[in-house]
Structure 1
Amino acid sequence: MRKSDSPEISVIIPVLNEEENLQKLIPYLRQEAGSGEDVEIIVVDGGSSDHSVEVAESFGVRVLSAPRGRARQLNAGARVAQGKILYFLHADSVPPADYDGLILDALENKTQAGCFRLQFDSPSLFLRFFAWFSRFNFPICRGGDQSLFISRELFDTLRGFDERYRVYEDNEFVGRIYRRANFKVLPYELRTSARKYKLNGRFKLQYHFACIHWLYFRGKGPDALYAYYDKYIKQGG
């Protein structure tokens, strides 16, 4: 990768009680980066009650505090990021090897934003079936667990995540990206945790996610989406 005075990619990880995942994810991100100088890692804590902050600080990455809520945390990370490319990643999602090189190659080929295909850390055929659809380049097939890379220029043009959304912030933002720019799904798999499906039940959770999609497409606002989520989906994990 190219050498420069500032990092090429800023990896922004919003966290809330993610000490166990951070202990594995941060070393992995550094190990798989082609050059440590070209990747910076920013952990944005939303008020963890565990040792997430201490774990992140022990690895020497930049740690910020922000009001709880992924949209707020992601925007806070983006404001201080030095990279030309912003890469938003959940703490329980592990990108493919050479993730930074794959992202850089994509951005150099007329792509302004994109993600990886999804794979769950579960043998469930049901989850494998839904993850299979992540290869298709349609907004309905997107989700925050797939991660998101975007040029700093495009992110600023779109004014980042809409902080009114306490849930569905990733889908809302990606929808705006699709309307404005070239989005690409890279043919490499990111592995994410199925913990929320285990907590809520696979069929039940997928049903409620579908209902939230439907509410959004019917024009319901952020408060209505959150009210539904808060009523029907267990939020632990």
Structure 2
Amino acid sequence: MRRESSTSFHLILRAQQNKVERGTSISVVIPTLDEAKDIVSLLATLAPVRAVGGEILVVDGDSPDGTAGLAAPYADQVLSAPRGRAVQMNAGAAAARGDLLVFLHADTRAPIDTLLRLPDLLARSGRSWGRFDVRIEGRHPLLPLVAWSMNQRSRLTGIATGDQTIFVDRALFEQVGGYPEIALMEDIALSRRLKRHSPPLRVRDRVVTSGRRWESKGVLRTILLMWRLRLAYALGVHPDRLSHVYGYRSRPD
């Protein structure tokens, strides 16, 4: 605990020292649904973003567990939006003030030092969007293979998933129309739009995402389900139909 606090302190101090040198502000957009258990710890890790002049926006999908209230002291804005990641992330982007939008899932932790350097990394690469490599946290021995496959597939195709924490220049995000507001595959659809402008910047430093989705439903079963959904989407099946297979929870009336 002391070690984590010390690390966070030094990152905040470094961010404050470099604040004047950074010309591009960062807006981290976090869509949430029933994340009361972990939202405070996630936002605490992002304190250096605020120290450097960036902002944190939590966009809640009407969580009944009090996520929004818990997030309020640790975020610059806590918004409410109709349930659905695409809708929530678009709402956050519309309210954001930063030049660089970072879309972070609530069950994912980003390497903060690298996150703070994203404007510089993009400027040097000449690209306007990108994603991180990912590691999946969990006990199942297949999870490292799942993460490796995700990273390799993304490198070969230029398509990113939300688990890899997509980041994009605001002007380009607005130019392509933001996330398509579909129930599933919004990350794939956005990547396709962005890829027309340039390949993504691949940041090798890994974000760490929770393996709870795989472990709760069974790792092999979830792998097969995701392959099935991706194939169906590639063949033209509408995401609204696929969402019922996935078990997507729509907003209650």
Spell out, residue by residue over 1:136-172, the C-alpha distance to the aligned partner (whole angstroms, 9 max, x if none): 3234763211111000011011110111x11111111
C-alpha separation between the residues in 2 aligned to 1:100 and 1:12?
Answer: 13
Residue-pair matches, total: 230
C-alpha separation between the residues in 1 aligned to 2:78 and 2:70?
Answer: 10
Of 135, 142, 149 in structure 2, the residue corresponding to residue 126 of structure 1 is 142
Of 56, 61, 65 in structure 2, the residue corresponding to residue 50 of structure 1 is 65
Q: Name the amino acid aligned to 1:115.
A: R
Give the superposed CA RMSD: 2.2
C-alpha separation between the residues in 1 aligned to 2:171 and 2:216?
Answer: 38
Q: Pairwise mapping of residues 192-207 of structure 1 onto structure 2 (< 5 A)?
A: 192-207=209-224
Residue 36 in 1 paired to residue 54 in 2?
Answer: no
Secondary structure of the structure 2 residue equivalent to 1:196:
helix
TM-score (norm 1): 0.89
Secondary structure of the structure 2 residue equivalent to 1:3:
helix
Counterpart of 2:128 in structure 1 is 112
Of 171, 178, 183 in structure 2, the residue corresponding to residue 153 of structure 1 is 171
Q: Any conservation in 1 of the 2:55–2:75 contact (CA below 8 Å)?
A: no
Secondary structure of the structure 2 residue equivalent to 1:124:
coil
Q: Pairwise mapping of residues 1-237 of structure 1 onto structure 2 (< 5 A)?
A: 1-3=18-20, 8-31=25-48, 33=49, 36-109=51-124, 110-136=126-152, 137-139=155-157, 142-163=160-181, 165-230=182-247
**How far has the Cα of 1:221 moved from its partner?**
1.6
Spell out, residue by residue over 1:57-87, the C-alpha distance to the aligned partner (whole angstroms, 9 max, x if none): 1224310000000010000000010000000
Q: Any conservation in 1 of the 2:184–2:240 contact (CA below 8 Å)?
A: no
Percentage identity across aligned positions? 31
C-alpha separation between the residues in 2 aligned to 1:108 and 1:24?
Answer: 31
CA 60–219 in structure 1, closer or farther in 2 if over 3 Å, else same: closer
Q: Any conservation in 2 of the 1:19–1:50 contact (CA below 8 Å)?
A: yes
**How far has the Cα of 1:103 moved from its partner?**
1.2
TM-score (norm 2): 0.84
Structure 1 unaligned residues grouped into runs of 5+: none
Q: Any conservation in 2 of the 1:113–1:184 contact (CA below 8 Å)?
A: yes
Q: Any conservation in 2 of the 1:14–1:89 contact (CA below 8 Å)?
A: yes
C-alpha separation between the residues in 2 aligned to 1:174 and 1:204?
Answer: 26
CA 5–140 in structure 1, closer or farther in 2 if over 3 Å, else same: closer
C-alpha separation between the residues in 2 aligned to 1:123 and 1:141?
Answer: 27
CA 60–174 in structure 1, closer or farther in 2 if over 3 Å, else same: closer
**How far has the Cα of 1:41 moved from its partner?**
0.1
Q: Name the amino acid aligned to 1:117.
A: D
**How far has the Cα of 1:222 moved from its partner?**
2.0
C-alpha separation between the residues in 1 aligned to 2:86 and 2:145?
Answer: 28
CA 215–140 in structure 1, closer or farther in 2 if over 3 Å, else same: farther
Q: Name the amino acid aligned to 2:121.
A: A
CA 223–140 in structure 1, closer or farther in 2 if over 3 Å, else same: farther
The more displaced of 177-186 and 188-197 is 177-186
